[in-house]
Amino acid sequence: MKYRFHSFTELMEILHTEQIALEEYALKREAFIWGIPENAVRDEVDRRIAVTRRSLIKGLADPQRSRSGLTQGAAVSYYGAARRFIHSPVFRRAAAYALSINEVNACGGKIVAFPTAGSCGIAPGAIWAWWDTYHSDTEPETAVLLPGIPEMIDPPYDPKLRGAFLVSSLTGVLIAQRATLAGAEGGCQAECGCAGAMAACALGYLEALSTGDCFSAAALSLKNTLGLACDPVAGLVEIPCVKRNAFIAVNALLAVDLTLSGIRSVIPFDEVVLAMKQIGDVMPAGIRETASGGLAVTPTALAIKEKLDTSAD
């Protein structure tokens, strides 16, 4: 089987030639690359899924407060808020879970870089939101009202859930091969934008969409994050990163919601990735993780930085 591909088009040709499903191909490819049996890949993927679940629960069980004070338990505040505009359980969960996982990262907790630490809440948050809403063992009533969530911290996981994580990872591979996953190179479109595409593809897979439609949803999500600056306040992966994880998890869900309505991306996935690369190439250095432009040089951000620098002396 061919494991090298440089585009979604090439990947589709392989899937068609080999008559193999996307998640199965992703699994075999990992086994080939690492030179390990497929069962070992399953175990490793499950181990990482468990880490995402633990971080999700940790951030919702206790408000996460970072040393800088910039992270203040937003996941707990949002998850428990009585007043809300968004009533859809899957949307609310995706936002809360993405916040939760990324707040754990901001506080130095254990997460899975997905594809990076700054964007770690988006794809796992969206996947787990779908799972807890549509596939959990909780009573439908509980699933709608959102309070307790099953722990599910112990592998092995359901093959469908594992498949969603594998498909998501393969989407990241496609973007990494033609563009970049680094905010320092391509801005936040490369980190959170890519994570949104990874989430959309996984959600499409969970919804049993065709592979073409999964990547159309990924294209829709990625298109709407093109040009996103990386301008973290005081150089810390907190502002805008933490809340951006929630926004982009919801962006990915909307991309799949649109796809379920029959709406497709006019620009194919491969071309959107190349556009992302092109935009990243012309981005000024000030908005490529140098914390010397954009939000990072607003008066409030500069005052925060000065205060943090003084307290560190």
Query: Does the footprint of ligand SF4 cover residue 192 (CB under 6 A)?
Result: yes
| Closer to ligand SF4 by Cβ: residue 184 or 263 | 184
User: Three-class SS of residue 65?
Assistant: strand
Query: Does the footprint of ligand SF4 cover residue 296 (CB under 6 A)?
Result: no
Size of the site for ligand SF4 (CB under 6 A): 12
Least Å distance between CB 33 and ligand SF4?
A: 26
Query: Does the footprint of ligand SF4 cover residue 270 (CB under 6 A)?
Result: no
Q: How far apart are CA 283 and CA 1, in angstroms?
A: 38
Least Å distance between CB 256 and ligand SF4?
A: 22
Query: Does the footprint of ligand SF4 cover residue 241 (CB under 6 A)?
Result: yes
Site for ligand SF4 in 101-130 (CB under 6 A): 118-119
Question: Residue 15: CA atoms inside 13 Å, Cβ hemisphere, count?
Answer: 17
Query: Does the footprint of ligand SF4 cover residue 98 (CB under 6 A)?
Result: no
List, in order, residues 6 or more apart from 306 with CB less than 8 Å away.
Answer: none
Strand partners of residue 230: 288
Query: Does the footprint of ligand SF4 cover residue 183 (CB under 6 A)?
Result: yes
Least Å distance between CB 69 and ligand SF4?
A: 17
Least Å distance between CB 181 and ligand SF4?
A: 9
Q: Which ranges in the chain belong to alpha helices (H)? A: 8-18, 22-34, 38-61, 74-79, 89-106, 122-134, 140-145, 159-178, 183-186, 188, 194-206, 211-223, 241-260, 269-282, 299-312
Strand partners of residue 65: 72
Binding site for ligand SF4 (CB under 6 A): 118-119, 183, 188, 191-192, 230, 232, 237, 240-241, 289
